[in-house]
Amino acid sequence: MALPSSGQISCGDMNEELGRSRTSTFECKGAVRDAYGDINTDSPSYPNDTDPMAHSEWYSYDHDFSAGWSGTTAGLQGRWDARENLNTSNWSRATTDGGSFGQLNHQNSPTVNTSSAPYYVQYDGSNDRSTSTTNMSAGTNSSSHWSLTYWIYDTGGQSAGYERITGFSGYRCDIAESSSTHYLRLYHGMWRTTSMQVSGGWAHYAICYDATGVSNGTDFVKYYKNGSLVQTGMNHGYYIQNRSYALGAKPGGGENWNGRIGQFCIYYRALSASEVADNWNADKGYWS
Amino acid sequence: MIMYESRKFVVFDVSEIGSVDFSEVLETSAETVRLSTDESKTFIKYDGEMPNSVSSLTTKGEEMTWEELREMLTTEEWQAEDLPDLPESEW
Asked whether B8 and B50 are in contact (CB, 8 A), the reply is: yes
Q: How many alpha carbons lie under 13 Å from residue A21 in its C-beta half-sphere? A: 3
Helix (H), strand (E) at residue B72: helix B66-72
Residue of A105, A109, A257 for testing the chain B interface, max B β-carbons within 10 Å: A109
pLDDT at A277 over 90: yes
Q: How confident is the model at residue A65 (pLDDT cuts 50, 70, 90)?
A: very low
Better pLDDT: A13 or A183: A183
Stretch A117-139: mean pLDDT, rounded? 86
Residues of chain B with pLDDT under 50: 91
Q: What is the pLDDT of residue B65?
A: 96
Tell me which chain A residue has its CA closest to the CA of residue B25.
Answer: A108
Q: Which residues of B touch A253 (CB under 8 A)?
A: 32-35
* Among A7-16, A104-113, A188-197, the least confident range: A7-16
Q: What is the pLDDT of residue A50?
A: 45
Q: What is the pLDDT of residue A42?
A: 45
Select from B7, B34, B87 the Cβ nearest to the Cβ of A254.
Answer: B34
pLDDT at A48 over 50: no
Q: What is the pLDDT of residue B24?
A: 98
pLDDT at A123 over 90: yes
| pLDDT, averaged across chain A | 78
Q: What is the pLDDT of residue A57?
A: 64
Amino acid identity, position A97? D
Q: What is the pLDDT of residue A214?
A: 64
Fill in the DSSP letter of residue B35.
B
Q: What is the pLDDT of residue B42?
A: 98
Q: How confident is the model at residue A3 (pLDDT cuts 50, 70, 90)?
A: confident
Better pLDDT: A55 or B77: B77
Q: What is the pLDDT of residue A145?
A: 80
Q: What is the pTM of this model?
A: 0.79
Partner residues linked to A123 by β-bridges: A259
Distance, in angstroms, between A125 CA and closest chain B CA?
7
Q: What is the pLDDT of residue B66?
A: 93
Q: What is the pLDDT of residue A11?
A: 76
Asked whether A91 and A130 are in contact (CB, 8 A), the reply is: yes
What are B45-50's contacts with CB under 8 Å, separation 24+?
B45/A108, B45/A109, B45/A124, B45/A126, B45/A127, B45/B7, B45/B8, B45/B9, B45/B10, B45/B69, B46/B7, B46/B8, B47/B6, B47/B7, B47/B8, B48/B6, B48/B8, B50/B8, B50/B10
pLDDT at A31 over 60: no
**Cross-chain residue pair A162–B82, CB shorter than 8 Å:** yes
Select from A109, A160, A234 the Cβ nearest to the Cβ of B73.
Answer: A160
Give the separation between CA A163 and CA A256, rounded to whole angstroms. 5
Stretch A66-81: mean pLDDT, rounded? 79
pLDDT at A61 over 60: yes
Give the separation between CA A130 and CA A115, rounded to whole angstroms. 20
Q: What is the pLDDT of residue A236?
A: 55
**Cross-chain residue pair A190–B84, CB shorter than 8 Å:** yes
SS3 A281: helix
Q: What is the pLDDT of residue A85?
A: 87
SS3 A57: helix
Q: What ipTM was assigned to the predicted interfaces of this complex?
A: 0.91
Q: What is the pLDDT of residue A74?
A: 82
Residue of B39, B82, B89 for testing the chain A interface, max A β-carbons within 10 Å: B82
Distance, in angstroms, between A108 CA and closest chain B CA?
4
**Cross-chain residue pair A191–B85, CB shorter than 8 Å:** yes
Question: Phi-psi region for residue B2, left (φ > 0), alpha (ψ -120 to 50) or beta?
Answer: beta
Fill in the DSSP letter of residue A256.
B
Distance, in angstroms, between A97 CA and closest chain B CA?
29
Tell me which chain B residue has its CA closest to the CA of residue A192.
Answer: B86
Give the separation between CA B54 and CA A212, rounded to whole angstroms. 55
Asked whether A5 and A39 are in contact (CB, 8 A), the reply is: no
- Beta strands (DSSP E) in chain A are 76-81, 90-92, 103-107, 111-113, 120-124, 129-132, 146-154, 162-168, 174-178, 183-187, 191-197, 203-209, 221-225, 228-233, 245-247, 258-267
Torsion, Cα of A79, A80, A81, A85 (10° steps): 120
Q: What is the pLDDT of residue A210?
A: 82
Residue of A123, A159, A260 for testing the chain B interface, max B β-carbons within 10 Å: A159
* B76 CB within 8 Å of a chain A CB: no
Q: Which residues of B touch A170 (CB under 8 A)?
A: none
Cβ burial, residue A37 (10 Å; 0-12/13-18/19+): exposed
Tell me which chain A residue has its CA closest to the CA of residue B1.
Answer: A155
SS3 A141: coil
Q: What is the pLDDT of residue A37?
A: 39
**Residues B7, B13, B18: CA angle, nearest 5 degrees:** 85
SS3 A94: coil
pLDDT at A222 over 80: yes
SS3 B75: coil
